[in-house]
Amino acid sequence: MHRAGRTGSPTRQPRWGPRMAIAGLMMGAAASAILPARAQPPMNAVGYDLTGEWAPRFHEDQPERIPGPEIGDYLGLPINEAARLHADSWDASILTLPEHQCKPHPSDYAPRGPANLRIWKEIDAPSQQLIAYHTHISWQAPERTIWMDGRPHPPDYAAHTWQGFSTGQWEGDMLTMTTTHLKMGWIRRNGIPRSDKAIVTEHLVRHGDYLTWIVVIEDPVYLTEPFIRTTNFVWDPHQQIAPYPCQIVDEIDRPQGVVPHHLPGQNTFVLEFPARYGVPAEAARGGAETMYPEYQLKLKTMPPARSAGR
């Protein structure tokens, strides 16, 4: 059957066959797939979107992370004798040296400090594939790249940096990152070291407006077991991270070449922490055993520490 069009010529009425119906359904499904869900954070191909502004939370361990730990407090750390010797020899005045004044925290410790955090994506424009996540942290303004495109880690002789070389992959909605090529850093800010041979595994887990950052450090030089800790952040869309200019100055007048330190066995400050809190001296020296709850039973059999003057 024909009918006249506006020009007077006959036109054929379109017919919707099975192929056209299937194509319409596919177009509808594609359109609905790109609509963002309102009840949860937006998702990329395999995991929750982590981008945005994140403010740190210090409700669990503020004294450890901001004022800093006590000298000689090695409790709960799976360290060996080499790590203890390094920490006993450490002097906080080393931070007054010009070369130490403006160094950032390494990437495995950075979330522990004053760490207002920004996370953003790097997307390949033609393919719209995720290439990397990038992070910026407020203190000393370090920026880090977590490669998501499957590239391998560089060879062992490649340069080591404060941020290291990080790759990531999704495990469900958890982003797992592996970092190598870190400069020598620290596990606790009282001299407990982390070597440049460490491998760091991290997990970022988002629960609504909260982000949990899990860090697992495996260090064949200074640790006898993996060391694990978590840090919490909350989404803060109004956060504005200020610049962090750092200027090196001469804080203390000292002879050239002098590096603050304690010779082995001569650091009496390490005795103050166990004496002040009544912690047995052996326990204050740390070790893997002190990480576990059953160590409390052993503590009851130990005498409390005494200060050096007693």
Give the residue-averaged pLDDT of 18-42: 45
Please tell me what DSSP assigns to residue 182: B
Largest Cα span, the chain: 114
Structure tokens at 227: 């060391």
Reading phi first (left if > 0) and then psi (alpha if -120 to 50, else beta), residue 47 is in beta
Query: Residue 36: its pLDDT value, please?
Result: 44
Is the pLDDT at 46 greater than 70? The verdict is: no
Query: Residue 186: its pLDDT value, please?
Result: 97
Query: Residue 225: its pLDDT value, please?
Result: 98
What percent of the chain clears pLDDT 90, i.e. is strictly above it? 80
**Which of 114, 270, 272 has its CA nearest to residue 192?**
270
pTM of the model: 0.83
Is the pLDDT at 215 greater than 70? The verdict is: yes
Structure tokens at 228: 């694990």
* Per-residue model confidence as pLDDT tens digits over 95-147: 999 999 999 999 999 999 999 999 999 999 999 999 999 999 999 999 999 99
Complete domains list, the chain, with CATH: 52-71+94-235 (2.40.128)
**Which of 237, 231, 227 has its CA nearest to residue 211?**
231
* Per-residue model confidence as pLDDT tens digits over 145-203: 999 999 999 999 999 999 999 999 999 999 999 999 999 999 999 999 999 999 999 99
State the Cα–Cα distance between residues 296 and 283, nearest whole angstrom: 10
Is the pLDDT at 209 greater than 70? The verdict is: yes
Q: Please report which confidence band the pLDDT of residue 32 belongs to, taking 50, 70 and 90 as the band edges.
A: very low
